[in-house]
Amino acid sequence: MQQPVAIAQDLVLVGGGHAHVHVLKSFGMRPMRGVRLTLIARDVETPYSGMLPGWVAGHYDFDECHIDLGRLARFAGARLIRDEAIGIDRSHRVVSCRAHPPIRWDFLSLDIGSAPRADDVPGAAEHAISVKPIAQFAARWEALLARARRTARLRLAVIGGGAGGVELALSAQYRLVQMCGSAVEVTLVTRDALLPSHNTRIRNLFEHILAERGITIVSRSLVVRVDNGVLVCADGRRIPFDEALWVTEAAAAPWLANTGLVLTDAGFVAIDETLRSPTDARIFAAGDIATMLAHPREKAGVYAVRQGPPLAANLRRALAGEPLRRAIPQRRGLALIGTGDKHAVASRGPFAAHGAYLWQLKDWIDRRWMWRYRELPQMQPEPGEEPMRCGGCAAKVPAAVLGRVIERLRPAGNEAVAIGLDRPDDAALITFPGAPPLLQTVDFFRAMVSDPYLFGQIAANHALNDIYAMGALPDTALAIATLPPARPEIVEHDLYHMLKGALDVLDGAGAALVGGHSAEGAELALGFAVTGRAPSGARLLRKSGLRTGDCLILTKPLGTGVILAAEGRALAPAKAVEDAIAAMLQPAAAAAECLAAHRATACTDVTGFGLLGHLMEMLGASEMDAVLDPNAIPVLNGALALTAQGITSSLHTDNLAAFGALDDAAQSHPLAPLLIDPQTAGGLLAGLPAERARCCLAELRDHGYRAALIGRAERRAGTRPRVRMAAGAAAAQPEPVVAS
Ligand SMILES: Cc1cc2nc3c(=O)[nH]c(=O)nc-3n(C[C@H](O)[C@H](O)[C@H](O)COP(=O)(O)OP(=O)(O)OC[C@H]3O[C@@H](n4cnc5c(N)ncnc54)[C@H](O)[C@@H]3O)c2cc1C
């Protein structure tokens, strides 16, 4: 038996900045035995700063100038923790995060960038749009464009006269003039002279370009307050604006002050010539957040980019216990500053030039850099190695295999078993004389996400679904977990994270974790045996119970199987993964309550066998057929595009058996692969009396479910259940009645 390599060291990267994307790619190309890589990232789509003004000007779309850290982390074999670091405890070697339990490290690297200083100017944070964090800026810029489309006149103020501010003012002006013509007035306000770190020729050139473009420059004017629609300057000047962009000097994250690391006066992490903190030999830093004490440089992406290769090399050396090498930044970088109109200015020392050819050069350099981190080599299995197997519910044993095994076993029931394997449902019902009946269910699967805390949340959510699908409430849970071999403190950390995630969900559901079992295993895996009871006076929901004409409601969109399968191959776009995670984290409690209140006739949860497989179970138990409306079935963002690329989960081929219930036309419908897509923590599928369906749907949506009315139950026509597909089948429903 092949033994997995034990995890001996945790290398944690905080922030997906320009240097860290190189570290990730480097470790993906050449992993280090026994080293586990973790990326903590606030924004999963990290922008390339050089192309940001080009995006503002409308020359690039969002995807062209952002790196998908999810795909890159998967390629690197790194765990991705979607969270914001807010502290470092060096004595316990953990990073504190906003939402996760503390994350342990043996070596730590910081590349979290900087943000324009706004905390010392009252009103700036409320009334101006900070250019960083860029994820927020992107959303607010889109809103600004929408406003510009509606207004007759737009006054834009840009605060900050460095390269970033000037470039942004020109890019924004270019875009807004394209949209609104002369109705746009742009004012650039700066505390010092324009572009103070550049030579006089560059300053003169930009003064000329800005004047030519009709941009007003207010230099040597310090903004001391921002009121709603007015900049107030120290010299008494008041500058009215409709929108203001804040691009002042770079500032460091305030929480660094509590880390005990040596910082510069401005709060940046001091580093030596090897990119390491002089305070702590296990902490490295690069990019804007770091200042090399012996060779300080201005905060610019070009230095962060250049620090990528030496940072990766020195992290490897530190992990291997080898001496580090010096990585002194170049004295002067070539700055190519775009002017928004597909021209650029080149600045280096005393040199200055301007022209369209410089924009082409900048565009070529920037696209080439992006290409390295967007176009990742395909991950092929080694000869003799299994192709990637899915986790979550896509790792279930195929329905047919399970059915045959149970058929052969024919386990005997006893007087306690009210619902057992003879008429299987989502949970078994056990009765004891003189006590209320208990529902019992168990789920267990390998991790489908690399973050153990997130995995714990999803696994618990999934396990509870079987109880909710029966119209009951969970009382207790027992956990079972396997963890790959690692140093005891690493095993402890991972087990804690997994169970903390689970506990957060179980607590929310009112279910007590009462015990469990853990063991070393090849992979991270987690499951729960959950016990529940029906609320007093409530009727249990079964898979049987559908009646002719009942409406079918699905409470969550389909697609987690294909998205996670694509994610495992580093092929899933970040937005699709985010959407799938959000769906898997959504609890079913409120949905179950709503379905029961609207007198659901039957219910199940959609898991490994996909919508069609689980619908077939309901139809089999209820002796019904069904018609589905392909246009009404909700689907996660990106799932259809991934199935169109031919990506499927490991369970897909086995689930194909359910296609036997569809006619030929339905089988070739573009949605068909998603009907058998295995869902983890999927939605509830319920039958409702037709007159209650719309009211129930409206309530489910009020609760935040992306629920849909997807079809109807029909009278059984043959000996086996059949499913038709008919556009509009879900629409022709009777009017709702008021819920009682
Ligand atoms: C408008 C504008 C234009 C610019 N144009 C250029 C240019 O053309 N050329 C140039 O060289 N420089 C340019 N710069 C400067 C450039 O943006 C920065 O120098 C560069 O982005 C720094 O890179 P970095 O790797 O340090 O961090 P960043 O690129 O800022 O990346 C930091 C990453 O860390 C994440 N993060 C932040 N905090 C946390 C946290 N607490 N926990 C987890 N993750 C976190 C962020 O989400 C982000 O993904 C420009 C700046 C601006 C504002």
190 Cα–ligand 1 center, Å: 21
Does residue 165 line the site of ligand 1, with CB under 6 A? Answer: no
403 Cβ neighbours under 8 A, 6+ residues apart: none
Quote the ligand 1 centre to 654 CA distance (angstroms).
Answer: 46
Residue located nearest, by CA, to atom 37 of ligand 1 = 112
Ligand 1 test: best mutation among 112, 188, 248, 269, most atoms within 8 Å of CB?
Answer: 112
- Any atom of ligand 1 within 6 Å of the Cβ of 338: no
Name the residue among 168, 232, 160 with its Cα closest to residue 189: 160
Lowest mean pLDDT among 43-57, 74-88, 313-327, 414-428: 414-428
- Residue 2 in this model has a pLDDT that exceeds 80: no
Ligand 1 centroid to Cα of residue 593, in Å, is: 46
Instruction: Match 């900050």 to its residue by tokens.
Output: 160
**Ligand 1 centre from 288 Cα, in Å?**
7
pLDDT category of residue 292 using cuts at 50, 70 and 90: very high
| 688 pLDDT more than 60 | yes
Q: In sequence order, what are the beta bridge partners of 15? A: none
Report in angstroms the alpha-carbon separations of 589 from 353, 507, 661.
64, 13, 31
Q: Could you tell me which of 393, 399, 401 has the C-alpha nearest to residue 465?
A: 393
Of 364, 397, 340, 333, nearest in space to 613 by CA: 397
> What integer is the mean pLDDT of 127-143?
89
Residue type, 736: P
- Cβ of 15 closer than 6 Å to ligand 1, yes or no, is yes
Distance CA 370, CA 368 (A): 5
Query: 38, 40, 42, 49: which to mutate for ligand 1, most atoms within 8 A of CB?
Result: 49
pLDDT tens digits for range 6-43: 889 999 999 999 999 999 999 999 999 999 999 999 99
pLDDT for residue 733: 55
pLDDT tens by residue, 206-236: 999 999 999 999 999 999 999 999 999 999 9
The residue contributing the CA closest to ligand 1 atom 4 is 164
303 C-alpha to center of ligand 1: Å? Answer: 11
Question: Is the CB of 299 within 6 Å of ligand 1?
Answer: yes
- Cα Rg for the chain, rounded, in angstroms? 29
Distance 450 CA to ligand 1 centre (A): 25
To the nearest whole percent, how much of the chain has pLDDT over 90?
Answer: 75
pLDDT on residue 385:
52
Measured in angstroms, how far is the CA atom of residue 55 from the centroid of ligand 1?
15
| Residue located nearest, by CA, to atom 16 of ligand 1 | 301
User: pLDDT tens digit string along 668-681?
Assistant: 888 999 999 999 99
Catalytic residue, from 97, 393, 551, 696: name it.
393
User: What pLDDT score was predicted for residue 332?
Assistant: 78
Share of the chain above pLDDT 70, in %: 96
Half-sphere exposure of 185 (CA within 13 A, CB side): 9
Lowest-pLDDT range of 130-144, 220-234, 306-320, 449-463:
130-144
Q: Using the predicted structure, report yes or no on whether residue 659 has a pLDDT greater than 90.
A: no
pLDDT band at 389 (very low <50, low <70, confident <90, very high): low
The ligand 1 atom nearest the CA atom of 287: 26
CA separation (Å) from 371 to 64, 308, 333?
A: 9, 16, 22
**CA nearest 604: which of 648, 698, 540?**
540
Q: Relative to the CA of 255, which ligand 1 atom is closest? A: 41
Q: Where are the domains of the chain?
A: 9-114+252-331, 124-251, 413-540, 541-740
340 lines ligand 1 (CB under 6 A): no
Is there a contact between 427 and 470 (Cβ–Cβ < 8 Å)?
yes
Q: Is 133 helix (H, G, I), strand (E, B) or coil?
A: coil
Confidence at 660, pLDDT banded by 50, 70, 90: confident
The response to whether residue 112 sits with its C-beta less than 6 Å from ligand 1 reads: yes
User: Regarding the domain delimited by 413-540, which CATH topology (the fold level of the hierarchy) does it fall under?
Assistant: 60s Ribosomal Protein L30; Chain: A; (3.30.1330)
User: For residue range 238-249, what is the model confidence (pLDDT) as tens digits?
Assistant: 999 999 999 998
How crowded is residue 308: how many other Cβ atoms within 10 Å of its Cβ? 24
Q: Rounded to whole angstroms, how far apart are CA atoms 189 and 241?
A: 12
Q: What is the mean pLDDT of residues 145-172?
A: 93
- Other residues' Cβ atoms within 10 Å of the Cβ of residue 250: 20
> 384: pLDDT confidence band, cut at 50, 70 and 90?
low
**Which atom of ligand 1 sits closest to the CA of residue 289?**
26
Confidence band for 736, pLDDT divided at 50, 70 and 90? very low
Homologous superfamily of 9-114+252-331: FAD/NAD(P)-binding domain (3.50.50.60)
Which residue(s) pair with 14 in the sheet?
40, 110
**Ligand 1 atom 15, closest CA:** 300
Output the six-digit token pair for 658: 């359910």
Q: Is 697 within 8 Å of 553 (Cβ atoms)? A: yes
Domains 124-251 and 413-540 agree in fold: no
CATH class given for the domain over 124-251: alpha beta
Check pocket membership of 110 for ligand 1, CB cut-off 6 A.
no
Q: For residue 738, what pLDDT is reported?
A: 42
Measured in Å, how far apart are the chain's first and last C-alpha atoms? 61
User: Which pLDDT band, with edges at 50, 70 and 90, does 388 fall under?
Assistant: low
Is any atom of ligand 1 closer than 6 Å to the C-beta of 244? no
DSSP characters for 495-528?
HHHHHHHHHHHHHHHTPEEEEEEEEE-SS-EEEE
Rounded distance from Cα 53 to ligand 1 centre (Å): 13
Q: How far is the CA of 405 from the centre of ligand 1 (A)?
A: 56
Residue 520 C-beta-side C-alpha neighbours within 13 Å: 12
Phi, psi of 107 (to 5 degrees): -130, 145
**Chain centroid offset of residue 400 CA:** 34
pLDDT in tens, 537-576: 888 999 999 999 999 999 999 999 999 999 988 889 999 9
Mean pLDDT of 384-407: 72
Task: Please name which of 645, 705, 393, 679 lies closest in space to residue 559, comparing C-alpha atoms.
Answer: 679
Q: Which tokens belong to 473?
A: 């409430």
Atom number of ligand 1 nearest to Cα 333: 11
Q: What is the pTM of this model?
A: 0.91
Query: What pLDDT, on the 0 to 100 scale, is given for residue 737?
Result: 44
The finding on whether 308 has its CB within 6 A of some atom of ligand 1 is: no
Q: 686 is written with which tokens?
A: 């319920």
Using alpha carbons, select from 431, 428, 393, 433 the residue that is nearest to residue 411. Answer: 428
Pocket of ligand 1 contains residue 562 by CB under 6 Å = no
pLDDT in tens, 401-419: 888 888 888 888 888 888 8
Asked which of 301-315, 340-354, 399-413, 696-710 is least confident by mean pLDDT, the reply is: 399-413
Residues with Cβ within 8 Å of 375's Cβ and at least 6 positions away in sequence, in order, are: none
Q: Phi/psi at 188 (nearest 5 deg)?
A: -105, 120
Is 16 near ligand 1, meaning CB less than 6 Å away? yes
Across the range 1-10, mean pLDDT stands at: 74
Report the alpha-carbon distance of residue 720 to residue 600 in Å, rounded: 24
Answer yes or no: 603 catalytic: no
Given a cut of 70, is residue 293 above it in pLDDT? yes
Nearest CA to ligand 1 atom 30: 113
Span from the CA of 331 to the centroid of ligand 1 (angstroms): 20
Domain 541-740 is classified in which CATH homologous superfamily? Answer: PurM-like C-terminal domain (3.90.650.10)
Please answer whether residues 169 and 186 qualify as being in contact, where contact means their C-beta atoms are separated by less than 8 angstroms.
Answer: yes
Whether the CB-CB separation of 285 and 110 falls below 8 Å is answered with: yes
Nearest CA to ligand 1 atom 9: 50
Averaged pLDDT for residues 255-270: 97
Specify the residue with its C-alpha closest to ligand 1, atom 29: 17
pLDDT for the residue 729: 77
Q: Which tokens go with 210?
A: 């800005």
Helix (H) or strand (E) holding 384: none
Q: pLDDT band at 386, cuts 50/70/90?
A: low
pLDDT at residue 650 in the model: 78
Q: Is the pLDDT of residue 735 over 50?
A: no
The ligand 1 atom nearest the CA atom of 132: 53
* Of 240, 247, 189, 194, nearest in space to 218 by CA: 189
**What per-residue confidence (pLDDT) applies to 149?**
87
